[in-house]
Amino acid sequence: MIASAPAKIILTGEHAVVYGQPAIALPVSSLRARVEIEPSKDGFRLLVHDLRQTVHYVQHTTKDALVSPLQRVISLTLDAVNRPLPEVTMHLRSDIPIASGLGSGAAIATAVSRGIAAAVGVTLDSDSLNQIVFEAEKFHHGTPSGVDNTVIVYERPVYFIRGKPIENIKIAVPFYLVIADTGQPSPTRLSVADVRELVNNEPDHYGTVVERIGSITVAARALIERGDLIGLGKALNQNHIYLRDLTVSSEELDYLVEAALEAGALGAKLSGGGRGGNMIALTTHEHAVEIAEKLQTAGATRVIITEISQ
Ligand code: PMV
C-alpha cells in the first residue's frame, strides 16, 4: 500500500499571502513524498529513511507530550478517522528537498496522514486532510497562511486567499517552469517574522509593497487565463523586485534570476520563503532545457523542469 503527496511552488504572492493578499500556487507532481505501508507484528513504527530516524507513537499520548510534527499528524489523523493506531510499519521517503520552498513539510505530513488513514481502511476527505496538514504546518512555520497545505492536498493549481474557499485557475496555454535550487536553506519562519517586523515598523511603505504584490497576483491570474505568457513573465519579474524590497531575496537568488533572464526566460523570481531555496523561471517547451542548463552552469545545485497545464 502506498500513499503520496506532491511538492509545490508558489508562482506569485508569497509573503503577501500572510497579510490576506492572494497567491497562486502550483503542484509539482513529479517530485513527491511517499509512504509505503506494511503489516507489522510489533506495533506501529514510522521510518523516516531520508533522515535515518524512527518516529514512535503511543496511543493515548496526551497532546502536550506530542513533540514532533509527525506525531501531531498521526494523532490528528487518528482523531479524524476515529480508529485505533494501526499495527503497521510505514516507510517514508521523499524526493522533495527540505527547507527549499517546495513544501517538503506539508507534503510529508499529507503523505503520512493519507498513509495512516489507508492503513485503517478509511479515505480522508480533502477538507479534513487539509485541516490536519495545516495544524502540522504551524509546527514548522509558526503562522502559516495555509497556501502550502492547500495546493499540496488538492494537487491542482490554486488561487489562494487566507481563510477563503479555494478558487481554481484555468490554464489557457500550458507553460513551463524551470525550478532551480540555490543550495542554501530557506528559513521561512525567520523570513516571515522579519517581513512582519518591516510591515509593523513601516506600514506605509511595506504595507503598500504587500498590496502591490497582491495586485500582481490578480493580474497574473488573468494573464494565465488568457494565455498571455509574455505578460505573465513581466508580472513575475515585478514580483521578484517587490520580494527584494521585502528583504527576502539573496545574492544567490538574484544571480540565478539574472542568469535565467539572460538565457531567455520570459520572467523569473524567487519562490517560497526566500533568502535561499528555489527560484523559478517561466518559459516555453522549446527553451526549457537550455534555460535549465544555463541555470546549472550559473551554480544551481538542482534543476527541475515542470509543465504547468490544466
Ligand atoms: O514554505 P515556503 O518556503 O514555500 O513559504 C511559504 C510561503 C510564505 O508566504 C512565505 C509563508 C506562508 O505561510 O504563506
pLDDT tens-digit series, residues 146-180: 999 999 999 999 999 999 999 999 999 999 999 99
CA atoms in the 13 A half-sphere facing the CB of 265? 33
**Residue recorded with cell 494573464:** 223
Contact 107, 7 (CB under 8 A): yes
For residue 60, the one-letter residue type is H
Average pLDDT, stretch 115-132? 96
From the alpha carbon of 195, which atom of ligand 1 is closest?
Answer: 10
Marked catalytic residue, from 79, 125, 127, 148: 148
Percent over 90 (pLDDT), the chain: 85
Compute, in angstroms, the gap from residue 85 CA to the centroid of ligand 1.
32
Determine the distance separating the centroid of ligand 1 and the alpha carbon of 144, expressed in angstroms.
Answer: 7
What does the pLDDT look like over 93-117, one tens digit per residue?
999 998 888 999 999 999 999 999 9
Who lines ligand 1 at CB under 6 A? 10, 14-15, 17-18, 101, 103, 141, 144-145, 147-148, 186, 188, 192, 272-273
> All 3 cell numbers of residue 293?
542548463
In this predicted structure, the answer to whether residue 246 has a pLDDT above a threshold of 60 is yes
Q: For the chain, what is the mean pLDDT?
A: 94
Compute, in angstroms, the gap from residue 234 CA to the centroid of ligand 1. Answer: 22
- Test site for ligand 1: of 11, 141, 217, most ligand atoms within 8 A of the Cβ: 141
Ligand 1 mutation target, pool 8, 15, 188, most atoms within 8 A of CB: 188
Residue that is written with C-alpha cell 510534527 in the block: 69
Q: Which atom of ligand 1 is nearest to the CA of 274?
A: 3
Q: What is the pLDDT of residue 63?
A: 56
Q: How confident is the model at residue 54 (pLDDT cuts 50, 70, 90)?
A: confident
- What pLDDT, on the 0 to 100 scale, is given for residue 62? 55
Q: CA 22, 144, 278 angle in degrees (round to 5)?
A: 75
How high is the pLDDT of residue 299?
98
Q: What is the whole-number distance in angstroms between the Cα of residue 103 and the centre of ligand 1?
A: 8
**pLDDT of the residue at 196:** 97
How many whole angstroms separate alpha carbon 46 and alpha carbon 68?
12
* pLDDT bucket at 67, cuts 50 / 70 / 90: low
The set of cell numbers assigned to 50 is 531520508
pLDDT of 49 strictly over 90: no
Angle at 247 between CA 186 and CA 283, to 5 degrees: 70
Let me know if 254 is a catalytic residue.
Answer: no
Residue 58 has pLDDT above 80, yes or no: no
Q: Give the predicted TM-score (pTM) of the model.
A: 0.94
The stretch 269-296 carries a mean pLDDT of 97
